[in-house]
Structure 1
C-alpha cells in the first residue's frame, strides 16, 4: 500500500471511532459517574468481547507471531496459565470488588491496611500502566512512521502527538462508557484482520482448510510444551504459573481491565464476562501463533530475511498483496488503540480518585473540571514516555520487555493483595512503601545476577518472586 493510502485508512478509522464515540455518548452527560463507571449499565457480552482487544494490543499483534521462529508455540504455555489466573479473578477478586462497590480497585488497600498502602498500590499501577501501555503504542507508532510518515516528511514526535491527540478526542467526554463500545468495534476489526491473513498466507503455501491442521501440527515450529530443562525460560511450569500470575496482576489487579468489569450491572454479569472472555482470548492467542507459524514457514520458503517484530510488517507490506497489507494496518491500529484508549481512561480514573481524592475534595462540578485536566496531563505524559523510550532504548521484541517490566511493577500489588486476602494480620502502614520498593530492588538484582549467583536465569516468574518478597516483607512489619 502507498503511504497516502495508509494515511487515509488511519484517518478514516479514527473518524469511525469518533462517530462511534459521539453516538455512544449522545444520551450521556460528561459527569464522572459516566466517565469512571459507565453508570454501571454495560452489557456483559460487550465488555467481554471488547476486553479481548484491550488485552492483546499491538504488541500481541506483531510480537507473538514474530516469536514463533525462535520459541515455537512456547507462548501458549503462558496462555494456558492465563486460564487459571482468570478463574481466580472470577471467584475471588470480582466478588470482593462488587461487595465493596469500588470505583478504583485500590480503595480496598486503604480499607484493609491504610492510606500509605493505598497510595503505594495506586502509584505502582500508574507507573506500570503508563510505561506498559505506551511501550505497546510505541511499537505501532514505529510501524506507521516507517510505512507512512517518513515518506511524507513528518517527524516522529509530530506523528506520535497526533495519534495520542486523536485518542483523547474520542475518549474525553464519556470515558469508559465510550471505551466499552469502541473496544468492541476494534476487537472485531482485529479478529477479521487475523483471519484474512491466515487464509491468504495459507493459500500462498498451497494449503486449504483440510490440510492446514496437519501442516501446523507436523511443523517443527508448533512445539508447545517444554518439560526438559528446568533452567530454561521456556520450561512449562515456569511459563504456566507465570501466565497465571500475569493474568491475576495485569487483569485482576489492574484498574484498566477491572474498570470495564465493574461497569457491568451485577457480579453475575461480570463473572459471565470473565468466563467467556477467557475462552475467546485463549482461542485468539492460538490463532496468532498459527499465523506466526505460517508466516515463518512462508519467509523460509521464499528467502525473506525478516525476524521477530519485523516479520509481520515485512511480509504484509511487501510479499502477500494488498488485501493482507490492508488487513495488517487495520488489525494493527485496532489492537493498538483498543489498549491505548482504555489505558488513558484508567490512568485518569486512578489518578483522580486514588491520588487526588477528587470525590472527597471537590464539589461535583469541580470534579469534572479536574478530571478533564488530568486526562490532558496523561496525554502529555504518554507523548513524553513514548519519545523517551524511542530514543533511549532499543529492543527487538517488545512483548518480552512489557511482560518482564510487569513482573517488577505489579509484584508489590500481588504481594499486597495476597497478604490482605489470605491473612488477618494488620501492618505498620507507613512502612509499606519501603517494603514494596525494597522488593522491586531485590528482584532487579536477582534478575541481573541470578545466573552468576545461582546458575539460574529468571524469566517471567520474577513476578512471583517479587510478590513473595513483598508478602514476606509485610510479615516482618506486621503489628503484634
Structure 2
C-alpha cells in the first residue's frame, strides 16, 4: 500500500474520532471534562481502558521481546491480575467513600497539603514522561513507514498528531475519551487478530501446531528460576502487582475514568472485566510475538525487538493487512496521549491550581483556565517527543518501565503510608522525603554490582522506591490525633 493511501487512512480515522468527540462534548462543562458527569457506562469504560493500558509500547515492544525473553512477560501479567483485584477492593472503595474528583485529594485530608501537592506533582512528572515516551514510539513508526517518503519532517508529524488529539479532547475530556477509547481498543484488537491469522495461514500452522513449534524453539519458556536474574519469577510477579497498584490505582488518568462510573459496584465490575480482557489480549500479543519470531527467518528478516513487527508488516504482508496494522497502530497511538493529556490537565487544575476551591472565579473563567493548561501540556508533549527522537533506545518498553520505577515510587509510598498507618507526618518535610526515595534508588541502581554482587534489580525497583519513601515518612511522623485516625480509617 502506498504511503499516500496510508496517510489518507490516518486522517480518515481522525475524522471519525472528531465526529465522536463532537457528539459527546456538546454542552460539556468542567464536570464533564474531569469525571464525565459521573454517568459513564462501566462496560464501555472497561473495554476502552484496555487500549489506554496497552498503548503503542505493548503493540510493538511486547511481540518484539518474545524472541529474546520467550513468554517471560506472563510472569508480570500474573502480578497484574493480583494488582487489579487489589485496586478494585482496596482503593476504589476509598475513593468512592470520599467522593473524590482527583484521587490525590485523599493525601490532603490524610497527610497534609504538602503531601497532597507532592503526590500530584509526581503524577504529573510520571505521566508526562511515560505518555510522551509511548507516543514517540508510535509517531516514529508512522514517520519511518509513511511520512519520510512524503518528505514530511518528524517535528511536523508530531505537531499535527498532537493537534489532532487536542481537538477531540479540548471540550469533552473524560466524557469524550470513554467513547473514543472504546473505538481505539476495537481497532487495536482487530489489528492483532488479523496479523496473527495471516501469519498462521502463511506458515500453514494451526494455533496448537504453532505453539508446539514455539516450544521447540524455546519461546514458550515463561518461568525464570534464577534468583539473581532481573526476570526471576517472584520479582516479576511482585513487580507486576505493584506496577498496577501504583500505575493504575494511584494514577489519576486511569482512576479518573473509573470514578466517572456512577456507583462503586459498577466501578469494581469495570475493573474486573478490564482484568479479564487485558489478560487475554496480552497473551495474544505474546502469541503474535512467537509467530513473528518463527516467520522472520523464513523470509530473511533480521530485525529484532521493536523493529520486528513493522518489518514483517511492511515487507511481506498484503496491502489490506498493512491497512489493518495501521488502524491498530493508530488506535494504540491516540490512547497513549489523549487520556494522559486530559488527566494531567485535571490534576494540574484541581490539585496544583485549586480550581474547584476557587470561589473568586466564575465558571467561564475556570473553563478558559482549563483550556490554557490543556494547551500547555500539549506543548510539553511536543518538546518531550522531539527529545526522545534524539535518544537511541532499543526497547521503549524497557525505558518506560524504568521511568515509572523512579517516578511512581513516591506515590506508592505516600498512599501506602496513609492507608496502612494511623500516624501523622510533619507535612513540610514530605517533599524532601518524596525526592529522596528516587535519588537513593538511582544510587542503588548504578552501584548494583558493588552492593549486591551477581544479584540484579529489575522491575522491583518500584517496590524499593516505595519502601524507601514509606520509611522516610515513618521517620518524620508522630502518633496521630483523633481527627487523623478518623480520616485514615475511611
TM-score w.r.t. the length of structure 2 is: 0.96
Tell me the residue number matched to 2:267. Answer: 270
The answer to whether the Cα contact below 8 Å between 1:59 and 1:336 also exists between their aligned partners in 2 is no
The answer to whether residue 350 in structure 2 is matched with residue 353 in structure 1 is: yes
Question: Over residues 106-144 of structure 1, what are the superposed CA-to-partner deviations in whole Å (9 max), with x where a residue is unaligned?
Answer: 000000011100000000000010010000000011111
Offset of 1:6 from its aligned partner? 1.1
Offset of 1:214 from its aligned partner? 3.8
The answer to whether residue 314 in structure 2 is matched with residue 321 in structure 1 is: no
The answer to whether residue 59 in structure 2 is matched with residue 61 in structure 1 is: yes
Offset of 1:208 from its aligned partner? 2.8
Question: Over residues 42-65 of structure 1, what are the superposed CA-to-partner deviations in whole Å (9 max), with x where a residue is unaligned?
Answer: 110000000000000001000000
CA distance in 1, matches of 2:296, 2:101: 48
Tell me the residue number matched to 1:257. Answer: 254
Offset of 1:219 from its aligned partner? 4.2
**Which of 12, 36, 39 is the aligned partner of 1:38?**
36
Tell me the residue number matched to 2:4. Answer: 4
Runs of 4+ in 1 over 3 A off after TM superposition: 209-219
Tell me the residue number matched to 2:401. Answer: 403
CA distance in 1, matches of 2:126, 2:459: 15
Question: Over residues 263-299 of structure 1, what are the superposed CA-to-partner deviations in whole Å (9 max), with x where a residue is unaligned?
Answer: 1010000000001100110010000000000001101
CA distance in 2, matches of 1:187, 1:240: 26
The answer to whether residue 148 in structure 2 is matched with residue 134 in structure 1 is: no
TM-score w.r.t. the length of structure 1 is: 0.97
CA distance in 2, matches of 1:100, 1:190: 35
Q: Say which is worse superposed, 218-227 or 431-440, in terms of deviation.
A: 218-227
Tell me the residue number matched to 2:477. Answer: 478
**Which of 433, 436, 440 is the aligned partner of 1:435?**
433
How many residues are treated as equivalent by the alignment?
476
Offset of 1:389 from its aligned partner? 1.9
Question: Over residues 63-115 of structure 1, what are the superposed CA-to-partner deviations in whole Å (9 max), with x where a residue is unaligned?
Answer: 00000011111111101100111011000000000000001000000000111
CA distance in 2, matches of 1:346, 1:291: 32
Offset of 1:413 from its aligned partner? 0.5
Unpaired segments ≥5 residues, structure 2? 480-490
CA distance in 1, matches of 2:449, 2:298: 37
Equivalent residues in 2 for 1:199-278 (5 A)?
199-209=197-207, 211-227=209-225, 229-278=226-275
The answer to whether the Cα contact below 8 Å between 1:171 and 1:341 also exists between their aligned partners in 2 is yes
Tell me the residue number matched to 2:417. Answer: 419
Equivalent residues in 2 for 1:165-204 (5 A)?
165-204=163-202
The answer to whether the Cα contact below 8 Å between 2:214 and 2:294 also exists between their aligned partners in 1 is no
The answer to whether residue 464 in structure 2 is matched with residue 465 in structure 1 is: yes
Tell me the residue number matched to 2:14. Answer: 14
Give the superposed CA RMSD.
1.1
CA distance in 1, matches of 2:115, 2:176: 31
Q: Secondary structure at the match of 2:424?
A: coil
The answer to whether the Cα contact below 8 Å between 1:216 and 1:290 also exists between their aligned partners in 2 is no
Offset of 1:213 from its aligned partner? 4.5
CA distance in 1, matches of 2:64, 2:105: 39
Tell me the residue number matched to 2:484. Answer: none
Tell me the residue number matched to 2:375. Answer: 376
